[in-house]
């Protein structure tokens, strides 16, 4: 399958602060990929490099077969981008802004724009300035989808959408991707809503990719186990235990190792067999697993 985005040993510094550390990732054609991480993990920096707004200090990054800092105009027209600070012409109406944008994109499909807009049930003559924050965001998303992009990048797709508009857009986007085979790379702070939506995930922690691949594989291979809080002075984060979260009466350890391997490890460091046998595995959704891998703070 064709690789739409490829980053190899990507590093970037803001002054003396290293934000990305030898990042390697790839996004294949088709499907929806979540670029996930806490604030400051490097998500927006990667997107700015992909779009050529920043140039990396080391490594390589290509988009649609071209180096990210030299994407020719005819290829850039195949990329739809929504990011924080997206500028709209608020003095225009819903109809006027559609006509304005359509002139710049040869594959423009106005029916896609109006299909999303009409779900808001507002007149097409209404000025953008008179719309709510969520409605303005829907206009922005409709304009980007109408471009018929080969690659769609959404940096924090929620953009002030309330829960109803977020759900509406996710359903619309899923159908759009399945119909037009567009590749989507998105970031979001609302991980819980992406659990049944993403095809693949890339998780960043402190400027490093800590896991990448199919969401189902991550859910299958990343585990949480409950143990007594009395072990807090015994257990340490290492190659076996990637994170520990402490509660009042229990602690949770997180690992890519299965239950058999964890029990063997615990016995090897001197944990009593009765405690090991009483260890329980916790069921996690995507948000639980994300927090377990990246930490609460």
Nearest to 112 by CA among 79, 87, 86, 149: 149
Beta strands in 1-145 (DSSP E): 3-14, 17-28, 31-36, 58-63, 66-67, 79-82
Burial 194-228 (b: 16+ CB within 10 A, else e): beebbbbbbbbbbbebebbeebeebeeebbbbebe
Could you report the per-residue pLDDT of 71-84, keeping only the tens digit for each?
999 899 899 998 76
Radius of gyration of the chain (CA): 22
Please identify which residue in the block is written with the tokens 């649609």. 64
pTM (2 decimals)?
0.90
CA separation for the pair 26, 125 (Å, rounded): 42
pLDDT, one tens digit per residue, over 271-285 is 999 999 999 999 999
How far is 124 from 93, CA to CA, in rounded Å?
Answer: 7
The answer to whether residue 159 scores a pLDDT higher than 70 is no
**What confidence score (pLDDT) does residue 196 get?**
85
Q: What is the pLDDT of residues 140-157, one digit of tens each?
A: 889 999 999 999 999 887
Separation of CA 152 from chain center? 12
Residue 45 to residue 13: CA distance in whole angstroms: 10
Domain 3-214 has CATH 1.10.10.10: no
- The pLDDT of residue 229: 94
- The one-character DSSP state at 122 is -
Model confidence pLDDT, tens digit, residues 160-181: 677 777 888 888 889 999 998 9
* Predicted confidence (pLDDT) at residue 133 exceeds the cutoff of 70: yes
Q: Rounded distance, CA 51 to CA 54, Å?
A: 8
**Within the chain, which residue ranges are assigned CATH 3.30.70?**
222-294
- Lowest mean pLDDT segment, chosen from 81-90, 132-141, 206-215, 256-265: 81-90
pLDDT at 171 (0 to 100): 87
For residue 41, give the DSSP letter.
S
CA 206 to chain centre: 15
Over 90: is that where the pLDDT of 12 sits? yes
Residue 36 has pLDDT above 60, yes or no: yes
| CATH fold group of domain 222-294 | Alpha-Beta Plaits (3.30.70)
pLDDT confidence bin for 85, thresholds 50/70/90:
low
* Tens digits of residue pLDDT in 50-66: 999 999 999 999 999 99
Q: What tens digit of pLDDT does each residue of 87-101 get?
A: 568 899 999 999 999
**Average pLDDT of span 101-121:** 91
φ and ψ at residue 53, rounded to 5 degrees: -75, -25
Query: In which residue ranges of the chain is CATH 3.40.50.300 found?
Result: 3-214
User: Which pLDDT does position 117 carry in this prediction?
Assistant: 92
Among candidate residues 18, 28, 4, 10, the one with its CA nearest the CA of residue 212: 28
């Amino acid at each position: 399958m064709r690789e739409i985005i490829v980053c190899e040993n990507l590093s970037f510094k803001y002054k003396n602060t290293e934000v990305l550390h030898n990042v390697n990732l790839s996004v294949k054609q088709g499907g929806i990929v979540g670029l996930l991480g806490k604030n400051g993990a490097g998500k927006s920096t990667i997107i700015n490099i992909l779009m050529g707004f920043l140039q990396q200090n080391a490594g390589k990054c290509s988009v649609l077969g071209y180096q990210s800092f030299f994407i020719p105009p005819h290829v850039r027209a195949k990329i739809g981008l929504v990011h924080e600070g997206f500028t709209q012409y608020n003095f225009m109406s819903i109809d006027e802004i559609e006509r304005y944008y359509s002139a710049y994109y040869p594959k423009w499909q106005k029916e896609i724009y109006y299909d999303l807009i009409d779900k808001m049930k507002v007149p097409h003559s209404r000025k953008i300035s008179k719309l709510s924050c969520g409605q303005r965001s829907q206009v922005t998303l409709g304009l980007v989808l109408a471009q018929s992009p080969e690659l769609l990048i959404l940096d924090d797709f929620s953009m002030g959408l309330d829960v109803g508009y977020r759900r509406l857009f996710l359903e619309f986007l899923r159908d759009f991707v399945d119909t037009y085979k567009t590749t989507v790379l998105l970031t979001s702070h609302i991980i819980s809503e992406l659990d049944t939506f993403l095809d693949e995930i890339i998780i960043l922690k402190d400027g490093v990719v800590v896991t990448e691949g199919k969401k189902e594989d991550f859910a299958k291979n990343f585990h949480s186990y409950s143990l007594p809080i009395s072990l807090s002075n015994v257990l340490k984060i290492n190659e076996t235990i990637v994170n520990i979260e402490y509660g009042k009466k229990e602690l949770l350890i997180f690992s890519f190792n299965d239950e058999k391997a964890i029990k063997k490890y615990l016995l090897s460091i001197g944990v009593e067999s009765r405690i090991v046998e009483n260890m329980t595995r916790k069921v996690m959704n995507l948000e639980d697993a994300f927090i377990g891998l990246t930490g609460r703070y």
